[in-house]
Amino acid sequence: MLTSNSPILLSVISHLQQHLVKHLLDDLEAHCSQHIKVVLTLNLPETLSFKVQDYTFPIQLIINEHPKGFGSNHNQAFTHCDTDYYCVINPDIRIHSDPFSILISDLDKFSAALIAPLVLSTDNVPEDSVRRFPTLLSLLKKVLLKQRTTDYPTNQVIVNPDWVAGMFMLFSAKKYKLIGGFDERYFLYYEDVDICKSLHKVKEIIVFSPHTSVIHAARRSSHKKLAYLLMHIKSMLRFLLK
């Protein structure tokens, strides 16, 4: 277990998702409450069905006057970070045991800047959350040939991937600050790819640890709405041109 003097700040962003946020907070209360703090950002106006005071861990509430992008929201939350570790976590993540003790142990073991757990679907199938950097050729294969093979093994082998998906990213706070956090020129999508590229450029280590797992109840908005799909394509092109 983590000690009381090594807490983690978690950043959670809600886009009219307070029901998902409550499930996540309830999971954190059940399994991780002694060593976490949370910054909860409401990116769109919504009325919460719960009180932040109902939880035993500190929750700081930020209500945006205007919607911000993924990176901007998490950078904003990081300004409140006074802990050694900073975790970016989606509201659609479910936790059935404490993943943080194992992750921090592996993060420190490798002196890494960023670590991610095994991410499982609601059907208990490993998701492709650890990947190689995209290229024009790999993207064409993915779209035209429907090739969605896993880039890295998701068994009991620790690997150093190119990048890990943004639904759960546990950073060394010092190293997150070192690279200036997320690039806020992205509004949505590819911020996770880009920040991992930035870490590689300064020779920092990224770790995928299958020693613990979380559940991802994916919404896949870009597959359902044209506006999100176009935003996804725009971010992809920004990354490739950058």
* CA angle, 191 then 23 then 127, to 5°: 45
From CA 216, how far away is CA 219, in angstroms rounded?
Answer: 9
The answer to the question of residue 46 being in a domain is yes
**Measured between alpha carbons, how far is 9 from 203 in angstroms, rounded to an integer?**
24
pLDDT (tens place) for every residue of the chain, 242 residues total: 344 356 899 999 999 999 999 999 999 999 998 899 999 999 999 999 999 999 999 999 999 999 999 999 999 999 999 999 999 999 999 999 999 999 999 999 999 999 999 999 999 999 989 999 887 676 666 666 565 667 888 877 899 999 999 999 999 999 999 999 999 988 878 899 999 999 999 999 999 999 999 999 876 554 557 677 777 777 777 777 77
Here the CATH number for the domain that contains residue 186 is: 3.90.550.10
Residue 73 counted as domain residue: yes
b vs e for 178-204, b when ≥16 Cβ sit within 10 Å of the residue's Cβ? Answer: ebebbbbebbbbbbbbbbbbbbbeeeb
18 within domain boundaries: yes
**Which structural domain, as residue segments, surrounds residue 160?**
8-241
Q: What CA–CA distance (Å, rounded) separates 221 from 102?
A: 31
Q: How far is CA 12 from the centre of its chain?
A: 9
- CA neighbor of 131 nearest in space, from 148, 146, 143: 148
| Residue 148: predicted pLDDT | 61
Query: Contact 41/76 with Cβ under 8 angstroms?
Result: yes
- Note whether residue 2 is domain-resident: no
Residue in 240, 174, 238 with CA at minimum distance from that of residue 202: 174
- Structural domain tally of the chain? 1
Query: Is 1 within the bounds of a domain?
Result: no
Place of tokens 């205007």: 66
Q: Please give the pLDDT value at position 164.
A: 96
Structural domain includes residue 3: no
Question: Which segments of the chain does DSSP mark as H helices, in order?
Answer: 18-31, 70-78, 100-109, 136-144, 173-178, 191-201, 226-241
pLDDT number for residue 2: 44
**205 is a domain residue:** yes
pTM above 0.85, yes or no: yes
Residue 96 domain flag:
yes
Q: What is the dihedral of CA 156, 162, 163, 169, to 10 degrees?
A: 60
Structure-block tokens of residue 30: 């059940």
